[in-house]
Structure 1
Amino acid sequence: MNSSPAPGRPKAAVVLATAAVLMAGGCSSSSPSPSSSGPSRPQDAAVVMPEVSSVPRLITAADRELPIAPYLLSDKQSDELTAAQAELTEQCMARFGFRYTSPAPAAVFRPRTPTQFRYGVTDPEAAAVDGFAPPGSRTAPTAVEPAALSAETTLVLTGTNDPHVKPGSTAAGGQVHKGRKIPVGGCVGEARTRLLSEGPEAGGDAQLPNDINIDSFESSRKHPLVRAVFAKWSQCMEARGLSYPDPLAAGGDSAWRTGTASAKEKAAARADADCKTRNNVVGVWYAVDSALQRQAIARNSAALAEIKKSIRARVKLATAVLAG
């Protein structure tokens, strides 16, 4: 079993709003690829706080989809792209005479939906058992040391043996191996190109929707409605002997950075979830978060339409590869 660069995974992001101000949806790369590009957000752009006309009553947002979701890869789509890239990479390596097996993706914690823990813990009973960290999230995946590859194998796989050249990139490849020209980026690059997943993101989410997903979460905390409901939540927590300005401060308390949840953490997490329910924190936060995303989507509608089109094309290609 050998290793190769794998496609980027979606979000991860605000997946856990528990310890350390967890992110909004997703693990994405830093810049847009040719196949899924769009203008990134302006640096230091002022955010205009939107009006929020309707606020749902929510205990959890787990089954609510955010407006930006159609422009981000789902876990299923990401898994299909990863599997298709592995298949195409192995086929390419076989053409060059190598018996190569792509490594299995590392097992990582995944929430049931992107919004399950976006706003922190919401179930008092679960919090009383697991504290602020969702079940299974405290256990780090077992690191599997990749098997060493020969210089010849690495060259064909990634297009380079040069430590100064990014493996699988357009700067790699072009050499000849046993009469065959190595594709741009090696076999990994060829697989990405065939799946329209070439570029810095390597098959992950496009920069623009990923930015919107993260920015809306950050900006929502400054909205007057959210600040007001956080104040009520804080008063509720204060009545239980816990002093935090907002739920992220509670979930990110350094005292909870332990392998298992202490009794004190469990009590605090349960209080957090209960105070959220009593004051409809999740309903308000979700409504503002969504309004900010709709505002950003309207500003970037043309670019996002192209990104959605690109996702459909990429997934269609991956489905065809996996169907043989």
Structure 2
Amino acid sequence: MRSIYGTNARKAGPLLAMALLACGALAGCGDDPAREDISAAVAVPAISTTPAPPLPRISSGAPTAPKVEEPPVGSIPQVSSSERIPMPLDPYIISMKDLRTIDIAQDVGAALCMKSLGFTEWTAGTVRTWDPENDKEYDFLEYIDPVSAAQSGYPRTQPDPKLPSPKTPADDRRRPTGEEMAAFNGSASQTSTGRAIPEGGCAKEGARGIRDEAIELPVDARALAVNSRISARQDSRVKAALAAWRSCVEKSGLRYPDPVVLRLNPEWASRKADTPAGAEEKRVAGADATCQREVNLVGVYKTVRVAYEERLVTAELEKLTAARPILEAWVKNAEAVIAGAG
């Protein structure tokens, strides 16, 4: 899940984002405080299959959030399915399809700006400010079926094929000139032919065609969702479930502080979805998934996260309600930009 602001941070990719146990307004997905993807790298230890010394102190990379009172929760259901669990903030979050539409429209608008400055070879794909690999919804912890994990390794999430695609393929990009980049990013005030470059360059001009700078978004629901993930990850009930998970996986010779770190071991973290998992990944994934299910780790985490989101919705309901039509207007503007350039 990512924020509606900026694009640069998404280039770091979803695998690392998951490892951080936090994204975005969480440091964003990077270039904007409301973005949710990456804030720091995480050290991944090698797998131990033999008796090991005491568990090392390994940072999961999770940002530190202010201590808050933990919300009460009712009964915690046993999660045994990968079916998505609805969250209280869902009604206020626009879809990945809409976010992709905004992304494409910003590049289209920037290209129109560049052409108006005389850079006729510039297309919406010359510099793409977003990466389709980051347009995936994910959480720190999702249910993994033990049988499937043992047979196929860790699941690989593919981008939604229904998401809109730009007309200019990524592999059609050419290397822009220095003058073009100065006009694109706004580091120059005019072109060599004397044409005035808009403030912030054509990259920002592309965004202006979608978002009215005079209208400030009251709150970013995706950023609040990130906050709920951070708070849930630091909750004592989730920490207790993680401790139980660690005790369980140690029986298989695995000494890791967190399932996300284990899942992102470099031996298999970069494996493509169409590449079969190796024997060791299958063994580790099977043990990991079995222990997660045994201690109901996902059930505890999701239940606690729901409680934090309910609190956020109550506190920010007026702003969330006001933000939704603004976001919908951005999407309509983006659709118009794309249609007009067609």
Same fold flag (TM > 0.5) = yes
2:19 aligns to what SS in structure 1? Answer: coil
Question: 1:98–1:223: structure 2 CA closer, same or farther, 3 Å change rule?
Answer: closer
**Structure 2 match to 1:122:** 144
CA displacement 1:214-246 (0-9 Å, x = unmatched): 332232233243234334433433444444454
Q: How does 1:267-286 map to 2 (within 5 A)?
A: 267-286=283-302
Structure 1 counterpart of 2:279, from 245, 253, 263: 263
Structure 2 counterpart of 1:66, from 78, 81, 87: 87
Q: How does 1:58-207 map to 2 (within 5 A)?
A: 58-60=79-81, 62-99=83-120, 100-103=122-125, 105=128, 108-110=132-134, 114-115=137-138, 118-120=140-142, 122-129=144-151, 131-132=153-154, 134=156, 146-151=174-179, 153-161=180-188, 173=189, 175=190, 181-196=196-211
**Structure 2 match to 1:292:** 308
Pair 1:233 & 2:257 matched: no
1:323 aligns to what SS in structure 2? Answer: helix
Is the contact between residue 7 and residue 82 of structure 1 (CA under 8 Å) also seen in structure 2?
Answer: no
**Structure 1 match to 2:338:** 322
Compute the displacement of 1:63 (Å). Answer: 1.9
Distance 2:10 2:218 in 1: 10
**Structure 2 match to 1:36:** none
Is the contact between residue 14 and residue 23 of structure 1 (CA under 8 Å) also seen in structure 2?
Answer: no
Distance 1:70 1:11 in 2: 23
Compute the displacement of 1:284 (Å). Answer: 1.7
**Structure 2 match to 1:220:** 232
CA displacement 1:39-60 (0-9 Å, x = unmatched): xxxx953211111124333224
TM-score (norm 2): 0.65
Q: 1:103 is matched by which residue type in structure 2? A: G
| Worse-matched range after superposition: 14-23 or 51-60 | 14-23
Distance 1:242 1:206 in 2: 45
Distance 2:124 2:211 in 1: 19
Compute the displacement of 1:150 (Å). Answer: 4.8
Q: 2:153 is matched by which residue type in structure 1? A: G
CA displacement 1:70-95 (0-9 Å, x = unmatched): 45453211210121112222222333
Q: CA RMSD in A?
A: 4.2
Question: 1:283–1:17: structure 2 CA closer, same or farther, 3 Å change rule?
Answer: farther
Distance 1:14 1:181 in 2: 35
TM-score (norm 1): 0.68
Distance 1:227 1:14 in 2: 26
Question: 1:157–1:245: structure 2 CA closer, same or farther, 3 Å change rule?
Answer: closer
1:300 aligns to what SS in structure 2? Answer: helix
**Structure 2 match to 1:45:** 66
Distance 1:22 1:16 in 2: 11
| Worse-matched range after superposition: 177-186 or 70-79 | 177-186
Gaps in structure 2 of 5+ consecutive residues: 36-63, 160-169
| Worse-matched range after superposition: 6-15 or 216-225 | 6-15
Q: 1:187 is matched by which residue type in structure 2? A: C
Question: 1:192–1:155: structure 2 CA closer, same or farther, 3 Å change rule?
Answer: same
Gaps in structure 1 of 5+ consecutive residues: 1-5, 34-42, 162-172, 200-204
Question: 1:182–1:248: structure 2 CA closer, same or farther, 3 Å change rule?
Answer: closer
Compute the displacement of 1:288 (Å). Answer: 0.6
**Structure 1 match to 2:78:** 57
Distance 1:80 1:15 in 2: 19
State the percentage of identical aligned residues.
Answer: 28
Question: 1:221–1:214: structure 2 CA closer, same or farther, 3 Å change rule?
Answer: same
Distance 1:13 1:70 in 2: 28
What is the number of residues matched between the two proteins? Answer: 286
Compute the displacement of 1:145 (Å). Answer: 7.5
**Structure 2 match to 1:30:** 32
Q: 1:149 is matched by which residue type in structure 2? A: T
Is the contact between residue 77 and residue 299 of structure 2 (CA under 8 Å) also seen in structure 1?
Answer: yes
Is the contact between residue 86 and residue 102 of structure 1 (CA under 8 Å) also seen in structure 2?
Answer: yes
Is the contact between residue 125 and residue 173 of structure 2 (CA under 8 Å) also seen in structure 1?
Answer: no
Distance 1:268 1:195 in 2: 46
Question: 1:120–1:10: structure 2 CA closer, same or farther, 3 Å change rule?
Answer: farther
Is the contact between residue 58 and residue 282 of structure 1 (CA under 8 Å) also seen in structure 2?
Answer: yes
Question: 1:9–1:294: structure 2 CA closer, same or farther, 3 Å change rule?
Answer: farther
